[in-house]
Structure 1
Amino acid sequence: MTAQTEKFEFKAEVNQLLDILVHSLYTNREIFLRELVSNASDALDKMRFAINSDPELNDEVEPEIFIAYDEEKKTITVTDTGIGMTKEEVMANIGTIAHSGSAEFVKQAAASKENLDTLIGRFGVGFYSIFMVSDHVVVRTKSYKKDEPAIQWVSDGKNAYELTEIEAEMDHGTSVEIHLNEDMISRFGSDDKLKDIVKRHSNFVSFPIMIGGERVNTVPALWREPKFQIKQEQYEEFYKFLTWDVQPPIETLHISVDAPVQFNALLFVPEKDLDIFGMDRDNWGLDLYVRRVLIEKQNKNLLPEYLSFMKGVVDTEDLPLNISRETLQDNLLIGKISTTLTKQVLGQLEKIAKDDPEKYAKFWKAHARIFKAGHMDFLNREKFSGLLRFDSSKAEEKALVSFEDYTSRAKEEQKEIYYAFVASREAANLNPHLEIFRRKDIEVLYLYDPIDEFVMESIREVGDFTLVAAEYADLEKLDKFESSKKEDSPAPLSEEQEKDMAALASKMKEILGEQVAEVKISERLSDSPCRLVNPDGHMTSTMEKLMKAMNKDNTIPTKTMEINADHPLLRSMLEIFKVNADDEFIALSSRQLLESALLLEGYLNDPHALVGRIQSLLTKAGGWYAELEKKG
């Protein structure tokens, strides 16, 4: 039995307003259930607060949320045992749509679509997302206040709504009965489908959500719990639930911040790069919650991309949202959260690097390539550079070297950190650019990844030290350090031989033509016969290759060839040159030296000529050696 029903007409523009809300704002129709669960959770929170505020309020009703699908009626009902509403509160809360400001809203929204998010923030109309999926809606509610009658609200969201006082007995709380549109039944018409939506969007709501007699939200929101109450096993279980990774994380960060913005976060450093094949680079970001309700999966603004290996959740109560909760109104708050989180993550990595180098080595092996992209984070450059690790000429196999390690063992008066891009440690031992550093016992950092070049270019300085590419090191700065003497060093060239060597260099330039910019005698080489350098002396060979690859330029660059006047091959070429400047061996050796150097630099695309020349030289050398053996 019910009391008299009152009918309230919506204003003429309400139909237009609802059309804007339903069709313009919401892109994912399943969020209607998220909105209703969030409203139910708020109602339960208010009831709990009322009980705590009034000791005389005797209430034994369990705080729960019930969701049910009725196959016969084709309805979804969401019921809570929360604080409920009086008639006046119903009209104020879910009748807000009819207030006088709606006309102004429609006017402004129609005139300026780009300001819709800002405008919608003035209206508490998340409830009205249910009209995306329903023909009509029936709300029944009863306030916790004594002597307040239960109220029924009915509307199709078009022209009017009806209010009725219900005389039947009813506990405090609210139920929302949604009569599904015909085309929505297949999408939402089963308990299993409703469970899936709840698990996706409302899994961490603190109150039990019951569907079909089963509690759906069984995973606790650990980030809201005190750290001292949580065991490591719980963190690991939550991580596996979040990522489906069978291995426990390297590190767990449980963060609670009150200023400049209040939020809780639970972050994890995976043991391995979860993007195994490198085909899923866009699958990153932290899950953003507001009061335990998922607002955005994989939000990419909460951490910079170079920390995209981090997995976890962030939950805040301070974040203003638009009605759909699909876009965020105030990026300033997101920016503050991001700044704080970034510092927290970098600080934790610093702690690991200092306290547990073995664990940090695991992190570096798994995530270094992504992490190195942080060279563009100018605000955190000092922290970032302190976390970088390299191989080096003085490192033991598989050991990691930091800038601090390097500077702590640098030579007295050395104010440079030298680095070189190499393919491997074996390649570094053959690199002609590094000979002078071996001779003077100066450490060189080895770079293996192309991004390392950009890292060094961006950082440039570490404390009082300057980062310098080894191939362009200043000889004056290196000369002050003592060199080790080679036992088999040849006698220095006489003044006449120096002139002849200069003439040989000119002849080699004539033979090689435009393939080289210049041929000159090196002041740095001791073991290798020659090396190639850029004429301008600025861009490293590796950076040049990167630029060419980006521009799809496959041409071989024109470089300056520096020759080692003390190398046995050049001394032999000099002796032949003095006898016959046009001897075939001079031309053959000049081309062989150039192509060998290009091969070491990674520029030689076609090695056929080089191989043929080696075979020709071996044939001749074999003949000469056989003759010598006969005479011997």
Structure 2
Amino acid sequence: MTTGIEQLEFQAETRQLLDLLIHSVYSNKDTFLRELVSNSSDALDKLKLEAFRNKDLQVDTSDLHIEIEVDKEQRTLTVRDNGIGMSRDEVVDLIGTLAKSGTAELRRKLREAQESAAPEELIGQFGVGFYSTFMVADKVTLLTRKAGEHDGTRWESSGESTYTIETVEGAPQGTSVTLHLKPEDTEDHLFDYTAEWKIKEIVKRYSDFIAWPIRMQVERTKPAEGEGSVAEVVRETETLNSMKALWARSKDDVSAEEYSEFYKHVSHAWDEPLEVVPMKAEGTFEYQALLFIPSQAPFDLFMRERKTGIHLYVKRVFIMDDCEELIPEYLRFVKGVVDAQDLSLNVSREILQQDRQIRAIRRRLTKKVLSTIQDMATTEKEKYRTFWSQFGRVLKEGLLSDFDNRDTLLAVSSFESTHSEDSTTTLAEYVSRMKEGQDEIFYMTGESRQQIESSPHMEAFRAKGFEVLLLTDPVDEMWVGSVPEFEGKPFQSIAKGEVDLGTEDEKKAAEAEREEREKEYADLLSWLGETLDEHVKQVRLSSRLTTSPACLVGDTFAMSPALERMYRASGQPVPHTKRILELNPDHPLVTALRDAHARHADDPTLGETAELLYGTALLAEGGELEDPAAFARLLADRLARTL
């Protein structure tokens, strides 16, 4: 019995994705079945765990399985499981809509996918593999009942703008997805998804490792038993998969294709794994792990709603699919499985946070992943470049939180620098190129390479040929303040503190010249300090400028303006830090201002010049004016008077 059929519209992003799926050309349609089997496997895992935790849940877990059923006459293919099932609300939320976060990112990716003809990557990135069914079906019907509930839900859609949903009484527990297949392509029998051989081939290739039996009714010819009798065609149930856990097998016994399909199963992704990391520990406590470093970053890598992607098993029993306690936050891109032998099955997140074994496993997994990345950086440069382009930004978060592995993280990190425009450099490579007498690793942070290279702070370093690291990721603003050095070489921002470049003799000569010139500019420096007191803490002569008239410099250990803005944007109040205004004593504007002040110290236009000098120094480094309109008016008035 059913009750009121309700017709609902897909959200706009879902309609776009469906249209993309139905009308695009795919390199491999077979993967729709992998997605359905993977979803069923997850549902069985969750039911097994829920039945263990909730003794009042009235469910039969004695024969959990996945069933595939084909009707050649009706051209339907059904994938059925007796797992956890879904409630009506879950069907609408999980099937009728996409994840509510990242919709703007999804729209951008949709446009890119249409232009590049790579939509299958999009499906994996956004975790919407269910929609791949519309590659092969004109209509999809889903029937489900959640364990513990009385009524089920039927969902149906032809992949257009709407879907129907209704409540169904007497529905079996679990979920069945029936695909009403598109007409058979008579020229290409490779895509006949009613053929027994085709189903078996797909399951063997993509889902052989699934822990639950995947069953299908197959035809068998029963030989004739005596003279005059004829062979008889009978149907019998066959299990299509071996159910062997890949993480329990030797690496030599597992093919690259098997690893690839297992990675896609546990991560719900479509890209190939960049690196496979198997582990096995014996002794005080035992566990096995099979981890993967992806080749492509998921779209939600920097979203709060993301999941870590490490599945926890205990003695091959599924416990949870996003065990945050097993991997640090900065390695959240790692996917895979950990199977512990000595944990209790009745384990919770709260218990895991305090568990000594889990903490030890976490330490070992972390070191193993980092050593794998280090090996990659040393021996497989191209693979490492791919890794860093996708995950370097998130890996650097570890420099703020993982003190035990900080040296390794520094060693595997690479950065843009003035040494090369088209490749990054490691810190070890930077140190190997340091000039004689150079004791510090010079760097500058900013929003982009172009902004940093255009900064006045770069002038002396460019003129004297000193290499500077160009740090443009937001996380760079934070870690450089907490990491003191690399291999005994301290980090030094070229936008902070004093700068003394050159040999010892050159530094002594420069210091003597600066003392002499400070006497020459003493009155101007004092007057500017008073005039710009609201903006700056000090005015002094610069040794870092060659072409610009002025720049703003922070104290050695002061917070940068960009970091101040980041804290304020996150709701944390921080006081505004005044910086130092440095003047280029050889710039015509500065010398003219010095002479004008000496002649007419009370000229009111000098104050305007001081404000313009400060404002242009702020703009030159990519900073933000407190009152842009006032600065524009002041500049326009001054220009008007010169015409």
Verify the 8 A CA contact 2:319 2:345 in the aligned structure 1: no
Deviations 1:192-233 (A, max 9, x none): 61789xx9xx99676847698464866642112221122211
Residue 348 of structure 1 corresponds to 372
Pick closer, same or farther for the CA change 1:322–1:493 going to 2, 3 Å.
closer
Select which of 513, 530, 536 maps to 2:550: 530
8 Å contact 1:528–1:567 — kept in the other structure? yes
Which of 303, 322, 325 pairs up with 1:301?
Answer: 325
Shift of 1:272: 2.0
Deviates more, 1:203-212 or 1:344-353: 203-212
Q: Out of 174, 179, 192, which is 1:193 matched to?
A: 174
Query: Partner of 2:33 in structure 1?
Result: none
What is the aligned partner in structure 2 of residue 409 from structure 1? 433
- Does the 8 A contact of 1:223 with 1:265 survive in 2? yes
Identity, % of aligned pairs? 32
* Selected match of 1:511 from 510, 527, 531: 531
In structure 1, the residue matched to 2:271 is 247
Output aligned runs, 1:330-479, within 5 Å: 331-375=355-399, 376-394=401-419, 396-475=420-499
2:633 equivalent in structure 1: 612
Report the equivalent of 1:311. Answer: 335
Match of 2:314 in 1: 290
Larger displacement relative to structure 2 (356-365 or 531-540): 531-540
Secondary structure, counterpart of 2:521 in structure 1: helix
CA distance in 1, matches of 2:385, 2:505: 33
Task: State the aligned residue count.
Answer: 450
Retained in 2: the 8 A contact 1:287–1:313? yes
Find the aligned partners of 1:439 and 1:183 in 2 and give their Cα distance. 75
Structure 2 residue identity aligned to 1:380: N
| 8 Å Cα contact 1:205/1:292 also seen in 2 | no
The letter for the 2-side match of 1:386 is: A
How far the C-alpha of 1:573 sits from its partner, in A, is 1.7
Counterpart-to-counterpart distance in 1, 2:515 and 2:479: 45
**1:24 CA displacement:** 13
Take 1:618 and 1:378, find their aligned partners in 2: how far apart are those partners?
A: 54
Report what 1:579 is aligned to. Answer: 599
CA–CA separation in structure 1 for the residues paired with 2:82 and 2:557 = 74
Contact residue 191 and residue 211 of structure 1 kept, 8 A: no
Matching of residue 590 in structure 1 with residue 614 in structure 2? no
What is the 5 A alignment of 1:539-554? Answer: 539-550=559-570, 553=573
SS of the aligned residue for 2:278 comes to strand
2: CA distance between counterparts of 1:361 and 1:481?
Answer: 41
TM-score, structure 1 as length reference:
0.62
Mapped partners of 2:528, 2:313: distance in 1 = 70
Residues 353 and 426 of structure 1, relative CA distance in 2, 3 Å threshold: same
**Mean Cα displacement is larger for which, 522-531 or 440-449?**
522-531
Alpha-carbon displacement from aligned partner over 1:543-581 (angstroms, at most 9, x marks no partner): 344444445559864332221111111112223233322
Check conservation: 1:320, 1:328, Cα contact below 8 A. no
Task: Provide the residue aligned with 1:26 in structure 2.
Answer: 53
Compared with structure 1, are the counterparts of its residues 276 and 299 closer, same or farther at alpha carbon in structure 2 (3 Å cutoff)? closer
Q: Contact (CA 8 Å) 2:538, 2:581: kept in 1 or not? A: yes
SS at match of 2:425: coil
Question: 2 CA distance for matches of 1:181 and 1:543?
Answer: 50
What are structure 1's unaligned runs of at least 5 residues?
1-21, 41-66, 70-179, 486-491, 624-632
Contact 2:500 2:543 in 1 (8 A): no
3-state DSSP class of the match of 1:467? strand
> How far, CA to CA, are the matches of 1:325 and 1:538 in structure 2?
40
Query: What RMSD over aligned residues (CA atoms) do the two structures have, in Å?
Result: 4.1
Aligned to 2:261: 237
Bigger Cα Rg: 1
Amino acid at match of 1:393: T
Q: How far is 1:602 from its partner?
A: 1.9
Change (3 A) 1:231 1:24: closer
Native 8 Å contact 2:212 2:243 kept in 1:
no
With normalisation by structure 2, the TM-score equals 0.61
Contact in 1 for aligned 2:211/2:243 (Cα 8 Å)? no
3-state secondary structure, aligned to 1:379: coil
Contact map agreement 1:407 1:417 (CA 8 A) in 2: yes
Distance 1:326-1:430 versus aligned 2 partners, 3 A rule? closer
Q: Determine the structure 2 residue equivalent to 1:120.
A: none
Q: In structure 2, what residue type is equivalent to 1:586? A: L
Structure 1 CA distance for aligned equivalents of residues 332 and 310 of structure 2: 9
1:563 corresponds to = 583
Q: 1:538 to 1:208 in 2, by over 3 A?
A: closer
Distance in 2 between residues matched to 1:278 and 1:451, nearest whole Å: 12
2:291 aligned counterpart, secondary structure: strand
Greater CA drift, 301-310 or 545-554: 545-554
**1:247-297 Cα deviation digits (max 9, x unpaired):** 212222222232453222221122222134844543224101123221122
> For the residues of structure 2 that align with 1:368 and 1:184, how far apart are their CA atoms?
49
Structure 1 pair 210/30, CA: closer, same or farther in 2 (3 Å)?
A: farther
Question: Separation in 2 of the partners of 1:221 and 1:264?
Answer: 11
**Hey, what's the Cα distance between the residues in 2 that align with 1:516 and 1:302?**
48
* Matched-pair contact (CA < 8 Å) for 1:556–1:604: no
Counterpart code for 1:604: L
Which residue is 1:87 aligned to?
none
What is the DSSP-based 3-state SS (H/G/I as helix, E as strand, rest coil) of the residue aligned with 1:519? strand
CA distance in 1, matches of 2:518, 2:544: 16
For the Cα contact (< 8 Å) 1:204–1:293, is it kept in 2?
no
In the alignment, the residues of structure 1 paired with residue 373 and residue 147 of structure 2 have an alpha-carbon distance, to the nearest angstrom, of 52
- In the alignment, structure 2 segments of 5+ residues that lack a partner are 1-48, 66-80, 84-145, 154-168, 178-202, 218-236
Does the 8 Å CA contact 2:514/2:541 hold for their aligned counterparts? no
Gap change, CA 1:529 and 1:548, over 3 Å in 2: farther
- Any conservation in 2 of the 1:320–1:329 contact (CA below 8 Å)? no
Preserved CA contact (<8 Å) 2:53 2:346:
no
Matches of 1:251 and 1:603, distance apart in 2: 43
Displacement of 1:473? 5.0
